[in-house]
Amino acid sequence: MNKKEITWAPLIPLIGGQALGAEKAFGKPPEAIYSFGGFESNDSHYVNYQQNTLGRDIPYVLLDSENPSIKQVDVVTGTPPCAALSQLNTGTTTESKGPGCAKNEFMYMVFENGIDVLGAKVVIVENAPALFTNKGRPVANKLYEICKERGFSLTLFKTSTRFHGVPQGRDRCFAIGWKSESSPVMNYYNRDRKDFAEYLQEIPENALHQDIIINKNVPDEPYYNFIKTKTNRDVREIMIEEGVKTTLNYVNKKGWMKEANEWFHKTGNEKGIKYSDHAMMKYADGKGVWDGSVHVFGEYMNAVIGRNMVDTMHPTEERSLTIREALHMMGFPEDFELLDGLKKMNHIAQNCPVPTSRDMHLEISKFLTGELDMSESTYLRQNNLKQLMEHDKNGVDTTPNLAEFFA
């Protein structure tokens, strides 16, 4: 197959990072935008970008609607909800968290519909890094069984966005089903990248959403101001020097909690009093606290999730990130619009960075054009963080045994 002949479509695109990455890799827009009922709000940003910003006549089709219009494609790329396996999920029951959670069904639906309904030769979904671990093994094994029943092989590819040209430590796992007896061997990535501050400097001052500051209260955070007053230095500079990422942890590490508490009382800082009283009580009991203090990042930012978007201090300006900067950290184009602004801010976090997705789809393109070597397993695990590969014990090794060889 020639690369120009490859057709593709997203299934549950959400805000669209994975789909935009696929478009970069394949060099062409999708044939259609597919999803299921209930995801319309999350999908609206990507649909708006394709139909209105870019002015493309690309249909948005819900597969569970009556008589949906279907086009067969070579690749289906999905971003189903990952909350079930996310470490940030606070659920306490198997129904709300873990491999048995109902939200995992959407991963299975993307694989099943991608192959059975849309006729894809490759199906890819992005999910939490736990999918690569023993915690997520029941889910991964279910994906493998779906593939096996259809004559497909499966790859789990673990990576982080910091290896794909963007200074964001976002560890994720991609599950890829291949129409092949065995899984291809994907290439590993470690692209050059700018640091956090340099990367944000790429954004033009007049870029869309650059004027929408996510959290205007970040400079008033109590621990940040205590450190600033006590040291008379740039708080970000001294925290980066000592490798500490939150102001609460910095104060605690330096043994300054009691002094900070006294300073809050002296200056009448009610929030500081409340936070430090609570922290001191918890620490005295040998317990931890939920850390909502200012986050500071040097070389690269932690994952762009809701908490980090709200609490992160800009690397060179005394403010939080803007909506545009959060989108830029996900690799989105400058003209991409977040509908409803701050009200839908968390949709940015429910996302796959565009450059990470691009590299995954570049590998898919190479598979379809016959450029990848093939492994001897139907169930392959590749870890881009360590550049290690292993054949999963549940996968069938396709290497012939001696009896088969001489038969």
Token couple for 138: 């029941």
Examine the domain organization and report whether 164 and 50 are in the same domain.
Answer: yes
Q: Number of C-alpha atoms within 13 angstroms, CB side, residue 168?
A: 27
Q: Do residues 283 and 311 share a domain?
A: yes
Using 50, 70 and 90 to split pLDDT, how confident is the model at 90?
very low
pLDDT digits (tens, 9 = 90+) for 227-271: 999 999 999 999 999 999 999 999 999 999 999 999 999 999 999
Is 330 part of any domain? no
Classify 128 in phi/psi space as left (phi over 0), alpha (psi -120 to 50) or beta: beta
Q: Has residue 78 been placed in a domain? A: yes
pLDDT at residue number 397: 46
Cα separation of 80 and 105, whole Å?
9
Tokens of 354: 């565009």
Number of domains in the chain: 2
Q: Residue 50: which residues within 8 A CB-CB, separation 6 or more?
A: 29, 30, 33, 56, 58
Provide the whole-model pTM.
0.92
377 in the same domain as 297: no
Domain check: are 59 and 143 in the same one? yes
Q: Assess if residue 237 is contained within a domain.
A: yes
Instruction: Please report whether residue 38 resides in a domain.
Output: yes
The mean pLDDT value for 307-330 works out to: 97
Ordered DSSP codes for 45-95: HHHHIIIIIS-----EEETTSSS------SEEEE----GGG-TT----STT
CATH number where 27 lies: 3.40.50.150
Confidence of residue 403 (pLDDT cuts 50, 70, 90): very low
Containing domain of residue 146, as a range?
3-194+352-405
pLDDT above 90 for 309: yes
Coil, helix or strand at residue 403: helix
pLDDT higher at 87 or 224: 224
Query: Does residue 120 sit in helix, strand or coil?
Result: coil
Mean pLDDT, to the nearest integer, of 193-214? 96
pLDDT (average), residues 57-83: 94
Strands 33-35 and 60-62 turn out to be parallel
Specify burial of residue 63 (Cβ count, 10 A radius: 0-12, 13-18, 19+).
middle
